[in-house]
Structure 1
């Protein structure tokens, strides 16, 4: 995705910042160490074109024809100059009208993107946003499958250890997770890795399920028929 954008815009350098799960801007991909340092400075200082586009701005693009003449973000300008960047075009990537990050294109010469049409800018931003959304969906699906595998293994461990059925084993995982502020996936992983859950009461089965055992005995019922 980044290489396509660089070639299309005839940019010398480029980088991507992504909005993480906690709605904070995080590192993405970069074409050089210098660009990585520039983005690191922007995120650390909390000021710069990418930060503005994803936090307080309603615009979709920040164009900087001549970096040394731009006075909006002094720390970012100094870092960009050190990186050999003379012009920049920062595009916000949106999915369903919500920002997912920024695509940053940089030129070694001033006014490198002056001839880039608005239509092409929008197209680059959309293409990058779709690529990010697709990658995140695939990552989410992989995580979901892995999570189900972990939980299934952990449930199996509890079923074997306590001689309980699947539903009770899952309830133990769920209640332990809630009590310890953990995701069920993390609890399952802890159980699989350590073969135990720290602080789990010995009478946990009785607490959670009473007498519900996987191979419980059926108690015969005596029915008295009135004469």
Structure 2
């Protein structure tokens, strides 16, 4: 049971961690901040990683704080079994006291865990709301039984906030990209309008036709045009 002082520190830490997550400029930065913040705050954690399950059923590591987390996530991908896959399947929290003892449930993983020196594991599915993106936050330790009930609760609170923050970072990056793209296309249209004395609609049509003829994205055509003009001016 948390004391009043411990609860106060927990609330303060969560507020600080969420603030750092919300300040992330894109999803990659938010993922890295999530993993590193978890290591710093959740008792017993020696390494953390975030993995994503692809449509083909393969685990892809998005971020890892150390070799321990990297090895553990890789072993689960290689063996096709383990706590992070269970968390993805059930949507719940998965706590393992000692992976090396899971010989009946995950025999291949248990053998690899003993060889790699991996013991405690705590995995949470991240509810980001991002379309078709299924990720877990995975916490690991070389010591068995290190994740107690308070660590589990703290991790659940953190994972819940982290999921929202990751969605925020992703959406903010998408919006920033969309605005940058619109500005770039606007610059390209302006160049064509000035050079050929045409209106906005015809300038856009020229960009579309160039995109189709060159098999390049519209934004790539616009970027090339803007860069060419700026280069000639320089």
Superposed pair shares fold, TM > 0.5: yes
Matching of residue 186 in structure 1 with residue 220 in structure 2: yes
Map of 1:152 onto structure 2: 186
Matching of residue 87 in structure 1 with residue 114 in structure 2: no
Matching of residue 67 in structure 1 with residue 96 in structure 2: no
What's the CA shift for 1:90? Answer: 0.8
Give TM-score scaled by structure 1 length. Answer: 0.66
Map of 1:105 onto structure 2: 139
What's the CA shift for 1:161? Answer: 4.1
Q: Which of 165, 169, 172 is the matching residue for 1:138? A: 172
Give TM-score scaled by structure 2 length. Answer: 0.64
Map of 1:123 onto structure 2: 157
What's the CA shift for 1:109? Answer: 0.9
Map of 1:29 onto structure 2: 63
- Counterpart-to-counterpart distance in 2, 1:73 and 1:182: 48
3-state SS of the aligned residue for 2:146?
A: coil
3-state SS of the aligned residue for 2:70?
A: helix
Map of 2:24 onto structure 1: none
CA deviation map 1:92-127 (0-9, x unaligned): 010349765211111111122143466434312202
Task: Return the index of the structure with the highest Cα Rg.
Answer: 1
Structure 2, unmatched stretches of 5+, are 1-33, 230-234
Computed over aligned residues only, the root mean square deviation of the Cα atoms, in angstroms, reads: 3.6
Which stretches of structure 1, 4 residues or more, deviate above 6 A after TM superposition?
19-24
User: Relative to structure 2, which stretch is displaced further, 149-158 or 183-192?
Assistant: 183-192
- Counterpart-to-counterpart distance in 2, 1:2 and 1:74: 28
Structure 1, unmatched stretches of 5+, are 196-227
Higher normalized contact order (CA 8 Å, seq sep 6+, divided by chain length): 2
3-state SS of the aligned residue for 1:95?
A: coil
User: Relative to structure 2, which stretch is displaced further, 165-174 or 116-125?
Assistant: 116-125
Map of 1:214 onto structure 2: none
Contact in 2 for aligned 1:103/1:128 (Cα 8 Å)? no
Contact in 1 for aligned 2:120/2:140 (Cα 8 Å)? yes
Map of 1:58 onto structure 2: 90
Contact in 2 for aligned 1:177/1:184 (Cα 8 Å)? yes
Distance 1:179 1:63, change over 3 A: farther
Matching of residue 4 in structure 1 with residue 37 in structure 2: yes
Distance 1:173 1:12, change over 3 A: same
